[in-house]
Amino acid sequence: MPRLRILAGPSLTELTPIEANSDVPLSVQSDAFEGQVAVYIKDFVGESGKAARSPYFEHHKRKGITWSIQIQDDILFGNVFDRPLKLPWGFGAALKFMKYVDPTLEENFTSRSRPWAFSPLVSTMPHIHHSRLDADDISHLRTRTSTGSPSRAPHKDRKQRKAYFRGAAERKEVLFGPNDLITADFCHHYLDFGDDSIILRLPCGISIDLLRYWDGQPVRFVCCKRARKGERTDGAPWETSRDNDCSNHLVQFTIRTKMSLSVIQTPLFGGVNGGTFFNDLLSGGWPGQLNLNLNHPISQVSVAAGWEIDGIGITYNLANGSQVSFVHGSNPNTAVNLGATEYIQSIVGRAGYQNYYKASLVNQLTFVIVDNSTLAVRTAGPFGNGDQSNNGSPFTVSNPIALAGYATAGTSALGLGGLSFIKSAGGF
């Protein structure tokens, strides 16, 4: 059974678990943001397996609400995804409804790199409270359920405030400084979190089980600064930091499964190249149904390679003693077998833009294999880079347990677009 996990922090690399419905906010600090974050989900089932209820949902202005993110901080609020989305049937109607609810929404859900959706914070938040702080005094920072209006806003009514701030000129009139405390509550009733489903319910009668289209990537709610005119990267509206992180603060939702396997997935090495996304760990239908033997997860890898890595095959050892195999891209012609006590300690490779093919691909792979009983080390490869171009950037991934990426089946060459590697967060 999938289980929701919630993390928050100042950036993608600094996330801390946060307990829903606890009324205990998480403090978040960075050079661009100082505040607190609280998350509420109606009838949320936590690690204990019991539903954690909160009086938050009994407030007369929160009746019917099923989830909420509260934050205290020209700022944008929205979502950024790591890779292209598998959009369900009916998504066009859902998007029209989203833009009806929030006319200030900007989005690119069909991006082939990083889909996104953002709105100005001051207009998209259902509830906002503004107050002034004495200099350097944040001692009374607390989550709240009351509503109010930002400074200089002409209306206190929620609908009037949202309507007023639809215009960019009106938003530019308002200036928030370090002594302005903004408590914002992003809450809606369109999502129902069940034990084995997350249902999007639209007023037009359309219901979509989002878990059927989930590919394993986290859902992130990001608060960030709008990029200046002429400084957007790939059309994205956010201002990037030195480490290319779009977030000043962030709440991340992931889904965990009954098998209690906590995993880390690397970035994509290579590109899409017209391929279809795959994630071997999710191949059983529901997330995490590929129940691996973590002591010896991989028994064979095979490669099709020439100037690039054209395809890759892999055979997994399952916890019940059986095996399952996959081929991604062009059919492999070279196999690397692992002994009963061997595991892949690391994969060293090169990936990125290939000058000859004018596409981002995986250029080369080498497997470093360790015998767990004798500690003997051997390598298999390098595979690929047949033209000695050395195009792309080098990478190293330790202790992989499964593969993900983009591939096109049935092609004689260049069937593999890119690879992402899944690692056990707890090791072996």
pLDDT higher than threshold 70 for residue 239? no
Cis peptide before 382 (omega within 30 of 0): yes
420 CA to centre of own chain: 14
Structure tokens at 118: 């953002």
pLDDT higher than threshold 90 for residue 164? no
Mean pLDDT computed over 19-38: 77
Q: Beginning with the edge strand found earlier in the chain, give each strand of the sheet holding 191-193 in spatial order.
A: 191-193, 198-201, 207-209
Structure tokens at 394: 């080098």
* Side chain identity at residue 342, one-letter code: E
CATH superfamily of 263-424: Jacalin-like lectin domain (2.100.10.30)
pLDDT tier at 152, thresholds 50, 70, 90: very low
0.85 exceeded by the pTM?
no
Structure tokens at 313: 């095959």
Would you state the pLDDT for residue 159? 77
pLDDT tier at 427, thresholds 50, 70, 90: very low
Mean pLDDT computed over 317-323: 88
The set of long-range contacts for 21-28, using a CB threshold of 8 Å and a minimum separation of 24, is: 21/52, 21/53, 21/54, 21/56, 22/52, 23/54, 23/56, 23/143, 25/70, 25/72, 25/141, 25/142, 25/143, 28/249
Mean pLDDT computed over 223-243: 62
CA–CA gap between residue 257 and residue 287 (Å, rounded): 7
CA-closest candidate to residue 421, choices 328, 359, 339:
328
Higher pLDDT, 112 or 147: 112
pLDDT higher than threshold 60 for residue 109? yes
Structural domain boundaries of the chain?
3-256, 263-424
CA–CA gap between residue 345 and residue 368 (Å, rounded): 6
- Tell me if residue 362 falls in helix, strand or coil: strand
Would you state the pLDDT for residue 132? 67
Task: Give the highest mean pLDDT range of 45-54, 147-156, 233-242.
Answer: 45-54
